[in-house]
A and B are shown apart, each in its own frame.
Chain A
Amino acid sequence: MMNKEFFKRLTDAHSWLGLIISAVLFVVFFAGSISLFRAEITQWSMQPHFSVSQGDPLPLSEILASAIKGVPFDAKEHLSVRMPEEHMPYYRVYVDVEHQPDEEDHLAFFIDPVTGEKIAEIDRFYLSDFIYYLHRDLNLPYGKYVVGFVSLFFFFALISGIFIHARKLIGSFFKYRSKDNTRSKLLDMHNVVGVMSLPFTLMYAISGLIFNLVIIYQIAFAIVLYKGDQQALLDDAGYEEVIVEWLDEAWQQPKIDSLMQQTTEKYGSTPTFIRIYNYGDESAVIEFFGAGKNSLIDKYEIAYQVKDETVLFTKDLDNPNTLVIGLHAISTLHFGNYAGFDLRILYFLLGMGVCALIVTGNLLWIEKRSRQRHQSLKTLKFVRNFTLWGSGGVVVATAVAFVCERLLPAGLANRETFMLYSFIATLLLTAIILIFNDNKKHFLGHLLTLTAGLLVFVIVLDWAMFAKSISLLWQQGIYGVIGTQIGLAIMAIIFALSGHKLTDENVNKTEEEYDSTLDKATSTN
């Protein structure tokens, strides 16, 4: 079955589909790799604007009372709290508010754990969330499904790549022809990165598909196996929904803090997320979510009736549901948060490796097609521009978003919108300049050099605007801001070196001479 024709058809499909999905896939992997440090970037964004109070933290009940003060809280909905963690010294509370159909249904605040004061609105510091949403759904309506289908084709590209490369998998594993022509170098880089990152990319392809396209199987199962009873399927899948009826009677001495303590002792770890239904009413229910010691599979969810502390339901390793545990394990693997910081560095390097895999794959396609006489020049030009725009354009736009995030005052109305516009405007500007630029390799080099410059500018701005605050944070043992700066500096060096390599006349001249000699030799033969 696996004859020459089989490999040819598969190679064709691999290169065409790879090309079609490349720009979106690059965005997903680039934004996803940065999002591994989402907590650090959030802290870098907001922390220098605010001080960190010293002292004993207030109990949860007081934080909740403070959260709803002065806002049109809709008590018949939820009140949710994310607890302070390593890179976030504040509570993050999400208050459902009374609203008109076209208005926002909730408000979100940072709350100081010592004073109980509302520090700022969470949405003002949107950069890390924006990059994460870019990874998750491209910040577009129905983008989740677009990313899902791109993941499907990515999975196909991986499996077809294994078939194509299988015969040379072992023999050519350490092959890298650094002194040969451009095509050989690109091909070796594409193969080596592809093979080395395979377990990682397979995990990402499957988990991405499960997150984004599970709805297809959910619908099929609900219709065929459960005869349309969606709730029965959700019950079997371990999904519990809290439904409580509003009694309109004020609660009497709710023991929220005691329930919090009880849950922490039961599982040996503080809950990370808390949600209250019907806050203030006798019918109130509180739900705690957290992760146990063995964090790859060990998570818990427990709901109590507040008035008498009875447990409504529990989901943990003592009451296992394979689907819930399995999905939690897949999610933990995907986000790389089951081990330390070093694991996230490894994930980041692999993610950037996949970005290189995508770009080299496209360059290989362009290189191969440009040697074919019947290939349309317009198609080649479009693919070349699209590849450059999808990679270099996104990289430089992200750096501009970092500059805006730092420059914009914390109190500015619609601060997040300005940051968003800066990203889109940079992408548009890159596309326009790209059309009028003939030397694409140099252009990419200049984009990377510009990105390096912007990242250095961000660090300079940090110290020019917040030197005192950053030093104080360091003294208080809060290293997230300087840590992010170190990350930005390393990325600036990498981009500067890559930019220099692409714009270096001597390197390019040698490669071009070599390629032209090879072309002549090929045409003579």
Chain B
Amino acid sequence: MWSKSIAAIIGGCLVSISVMLNLNYLLPLTVDSRLFIGLLTAFPLWVTTMIYCYASKSGWQAWQRCGAILLVSVSLNSFFLLT
């Protein structure tokens, strides 16, 4: 339970930050609207990742799942930041 919890808290937080940053680049809205939408979606994203982690059979699998999402999302972050 503890290893899954660490993955859920840290991994979930990183996933939500990364996806939120992507949303900020992708949404065709004013900056204040993007910030507000980002804030509203961030915590549900975090909790969704937590569900995914706790539904894993072990802490290692929870980290693998988070890692897979993070890999895709951080790649997109890098693309947006560098272009």
> Which residues of A line the B interface, CB within 8 A?
5-6, 9-10, 12-13, 16-17, 149, 152, 155-156, 159-160, 163, 205-206, 209-210, 213-214, 216-217, 220-221, 224-225, 236-238, 321-324, 326-327
Contact = CB atoms under 8 A, between A and B. Distances in A.
B66 interface: no
The 7 closest A-B pairs by CB, nearest first: A13-B54, A326-B36, A322-B33, A322-B32, A209-B43, A323-B36, A220-B17
B71 interface: no
B17 A217 contact: yes
A155 B57 contact: no
27 contacts: A5-B57, A9-B54, A10-B55, A16-B1, A149-B9, A152-B9, A152-B46, A152-B47, A156-B47, A156-B54, A213-B43, A214-B39, A217-B38, A220-B21, A221-B21, A221-B24, A221-B38, A225-B24, A236-B31, A236-B32, A237-B32, A322-B33, A322-B35, A322-B36, A323-B35, A326-B36, A326-B40
Interface string B24-38: 100000111101101
A160 B31 contact: no
B51 interface: yes
Nearest to B50: A156
B64 interface: no
Contacts of A210: 39, 43
Contacts of B81: 224
A10 B13 contact: no
Nearest to A216: B13
Contacts of A6: 55
Interface of B: 1, 4-5, 8-9, 13, 17, 20-21, 24, 30-33, 35-36, 38-40, 42-44, 46-48, 50-51, 54-57, 77, 81
Contacts of A221: 21, 24, 35, 38
A224 B21 contact: yes
A156, A206, A214, A321, most chain B CB atoms within 10 A: A156
Given A152-B43, A152-B47, A224-B21, 5 more contacts: A152-B46, A156-B47, A217-B39, A236-B31, A322-B32
Most buried by B among A163, A220, A236: A220
